[in-house]
Structure 1
Amino acid sequence: MRKILYFIGLGTFILSCAPQKNVKTSSYRPKPTTTQPKTVVKTPTTEKIKPQITNDRGVEFFTTNIADPTKNDNTISYGSIVSAKPTGYKVVKTYFPAIAQNFRQRYLILHYTALPDDKSITVLTQQAVSAHYLVNNTGDNEIYQLVDENKRSYHAGVSSWRADKNLNDTSIGIEIVNAGYTADSIGKRLFVPFNDAQIRKVAALAKDIITRYQIPATNVLAHSDIAPTRKQDPGPLFPWKKLYDEYQIGMWYDEATKQSYYDLATVDFAAKYNEPSFIFNVQTQLQKFGYGVEPGGKWDDATKKTIEAFQYHFRPQNYDGIMDAETWAILQALIQKYPVK
């Protein structure tokens, strides 16, 4: 028994004295997660290639619209591109054209010359008055251009329509050869009618200008509309309704709307005619439509001439300068159809 115990003790001693190997203690360490960057797929951007500038014998043109026509923006050049030539520097068109641009030509104004053909040419080319175009009355197919459309011609003078003034800056002027008017024994103006062939010329010319420059119907006007206290042209015999009906040129009222306003106006129109509040309202409505009349509550000369100009354009059967029920109804129908935007 003692021998057995001896050997057990000896074996334990030997094991305890034997050299120990380093034993690594295994502990759990989570593997660090590395987030891989997402691969961004770039959609190739296709830059809009602008149309080229046309070069004709050293003269540059740009005849394409790359702008937004719904904003009335337009990059078309109907003439050559005019550029600066600074000494020592070069103007380049690397980024031409910017899309934020529109036309200077926002109005079309129609006149008569009150002179025969030859004198009309002399006055409009040699004196301090001009127009972009002159429509003769000689029976041919010619229309005379007198001023570049990109330049101001001196045809409107002191003028206004709605919020705009000095319309030479923003308009194209068409002069029409016509004798104008003579006055009878009681001073009533007797106007000379226009030739049908001449009106066809006017219509074709006006339609071309309106289409190219996107001129709205509200901006196709008579000289008498923009200067009612000074001018009568083109007068009550100019066929505005014909141009509207057959060529979609200019403004005209809707008959049904006019009739509804007329039915309302006839009830007590005459009774309140001379009341200052009624006169003030008439002046305000004329101004609202576009005429440059100042409301004052009196039937003054400027108001009478403004009503007369309105009648020349929209009620030519009677142009006495008196605001009767029919004239009032036409004015209201036009304001409804062509509101100020």
Structure 2
Amino acid sequence: MRKTLYIIGLSAFVFSCTPQQNAKKSSYKPKSPVSQPKTAIKTQTPEKPKPQITNDHGVEFFTTNIADATKNDNTASYGSIVSAKPAGYKVVKTYFPAIAQNFRQRYLILHYTALPDEKSITVLSQQAVSAHYLVNNTGDNEIYQLVDENKRSYHAGVSSWRNDKNLNDTSIGIEIVNAGYTADATGKKLFVPFSDDQVKKVAALAKDIITRYQIPATNVLAHSDIAPTRKQDPGPFFPWKKLYDQYQIGMWYDEASKQSYYDLATSTDFTAKYNDPAFISSVQTQLQKFGYGLDLSGKWDDGTKKTIEAFQYHFRPQNYDGIMDAETWSILQALSLKYPVK
């Protein structure tokens, strides 16, 4: 019995003398959770549902714009959608339309035919020239369409405006039946007026085209604007100011601005600097910057005179002698101020 008690006491002593460090090692402590950096969850902006494509008797149409109209972008289609049909494969429109697109039709160009009605139809529909539309002079309510707006018609020829060339590629052409001009004994061109019915037709047609394709005022032009050395149409009797005032079509200057420049020009001896090469170069540069395709020769050469004449047809039709007088100069300044190149 005494031996047993001795063993128990010895065991207690040994336990009590064990270092506390070892005791701590043997004790249990729950581990604190280690915080891990959270993985950022990428949230995708949900794609806006695209309007449905309209199907009419197997022909597809898409008439809604989902692009950025402020950038002159437009996805609407004003005709049937043209798609490829590759042999053995199926073209699907699961992701149609992409928003990054705009219209080919960036310009509207106006012409006269210099021919009577029947001859105009024959030439523009059966020969190597054409236009998208032909406005007749028969007093009815019809306008003839000759070329699909999505296709290129052959109406502009060698042409340019600002930074663009070969405007057949990017324009819609409207031909107006009109006899054009004859020259008198002095060589002055005598033009034929347009009928009121024609002007109303042209205004309605142009407004429709401009609105659908978002064509800016600076891109509504005469054939003579884009080819001044070889074309005169639609000439000084075409009522550009009336289209601007009554239908908000095309460009026109502000009268107050023009008058301010005119007062400035006439307060000095404007004619004294007329033949100064620096003044001529300045005029040529301004015409070129405004949009006309013109060589900077520093001389009143034939190309410059014809360009001034074309400018006068459009913006100063009372006198189209090809001379840069104070009034023509003032109009050019006012237009350049109102329609700067962007």
TM-score, scaled to structure 2: 0.92
CA deviation string 1:67-107 (max 9, x = no partner): 11111111101011111111111111111111000000000
Aligned runs of 1:59-70 on 2, under 5 Å? 59-70=59-70
What percent of counterpart residues are identical? 81
RMSD across aligned positions (CA): 2.2
1:201-260: CA deviations, max 9, x gaps? 000000000000000000000000000000000000000000000000000000111111
Give the structure 2 partner of residue 278 of structure 1. Answer: 279
Residue 30 of structure 1, CA deviation: 6.7
Give the secondary structure class of the aligned counterpart of 1:328.
Answer: helix
CA distance in 2, matches of 1:168, 1:280: 30
Distance 1:158 1:69 in 2: 30
* Counterpart residue number, 1:335: 336
Consecutive unaligned residues in structure 2, runs of 5 or more: none
Shift of 1:323: 0.2
Match of 1:130 in 2: 130
Deviation sequence 1:174-216 (CA, Å, 0-9, x none): 0000111111111111111110111000000000000000000
Q: Cα offset for 1:29?
A: 7.9
CA distance in 2, matches of 1:233, 1:35: 83
Aligned to 1:192: 192
How far is the alpha carbon of 1:46 from its aligned partner? 3.8
Q: What residue is the counterpart of 1:252 in the other structure?
A: 252
Please name the residue that 1:314 is paired with: 315
Residue 181 of structure 1: aligned partner: 181
Counterpart secondary structure, 1:20: helix
- 1:18 matches 2:9: yes
Q: 1:259 to 1:30 in 2, by over 3 A?
A: farther
Q: Distance in 1 between matches of 2:41 and 2:199?
A: 64
Cα 1:39–1:246, aligned 2, differ >3 Å: closer, same or farther?
Answer: same
Cα separation, partners in 2 of 1:40 and 1:148, compared to 1, 3 Å? same
Q: Answer with 215-224 or 77-86: which moved more.
A: 77-86
Q: Distance in 2 between matches of 1:83 and 1:29?
A: 74
Q: Give 1:268 shift.
A: 2.4
Report Cα offsets for 1:155-174 as digits up to 9, x if no partner: 00000000000000000000
In the alignment, which residue of structure 2 is the partner of 1:211? 211
Quote how far apart the aligned CAs of 1:44 are: 8.4
Match of 1:6 in 2: none
SS of the residue 2:271 aligns to: coil
- 2-structure distance, mates of 1:44, 1:296: 58
The 2-side partners of 1:59 and 1:140 are apart by 32
Stretch moving more, 228-237 or 18-27: 18-27
Counterparts of 1:207 and 1:248, CA distance in 2:
8
Question: Which residue does the alignment assign to 1:145?
Answer: 145
Alignment length (residue pairs): 331
Partner of 2:33: 34
- Normalising by structure 1, we get a TM-score of 0.92
Q: Once the two structures are superposed, what CA deviation does each residue of 1:84-143 show, in whole Å capped at 9, x if it has no partner?
A: 111111111111111000000000000000111110000000100000000001011000
Query: CA 1:63 to 1:33, structure 2 compared with 1: closer, same or farther past 3 Å?
Result: same
Task: Work out the CA distance in 2 between the residues paired with 1:304 and 1:145.
Answer: 35
Which secondary structure state, in structure 2, belongs to the residue aligned with residue 287 of structure 1?
Answer: helix
Q: Distance in 2 between matches of 1:306 and 1:42?
A: 59
Question: 135-144 vs 40-49, which deviates more?
Answer: 40-49
Match of 1:163 in 2: 163
Amino acid of the residue matched to residue 263 of structure 2?
D
What SS does the aligned partner of 1:190 have?
strand
After superposition, the Cα gap between the structure-2 partners of 1:42 and 1:84, relative to the gap in structure 1 and judged at 3 Å, is closer
Deviates more, 1:85-94 or 1:43-52: 43-52
Greater C-alpha radius of gyration: 1
1:94 aligned residue:
94
C-alpha distance in 1, partners of 2:112/2:8?
132
Pick which of 288-297 and 260-269 moved more: 260-269
Cα separation, partners in 2 of 1:263 and 1:55, compared to 1, 3 Å: same
Output aligned runs, 1:211-250, within 5 Å: 211-250=211-250
SS in 1 for 2:303: helix
**3-state DSSP of counterpart to 1:270:** helix
- 1:304 is aligned to 305
- In the TM superposition, residue 312 of structure 1 has moved relative to its aligned partner by 0.2
Are positions 1:71 and 2:71 aligned together? yes
Q: Quick one: structure 1 residues 39 and 226, their matched pair in 2 at CA, closer, same or farther if it must change by over 3 Å? A: closer
Cα distance change of structure 1 residues 160 and 42 upon mapping to structure 2, 3 Å threshold: closer
- C-alpha displacement of 1:146: 0.2
Unaligned runs of 5+ in 1: 1-10
Q: Indicate how the Cα distance of structure 1 residues 57 and 184 shifts in structure 2: closer, same or farther if over 3 A, else same.
A: same
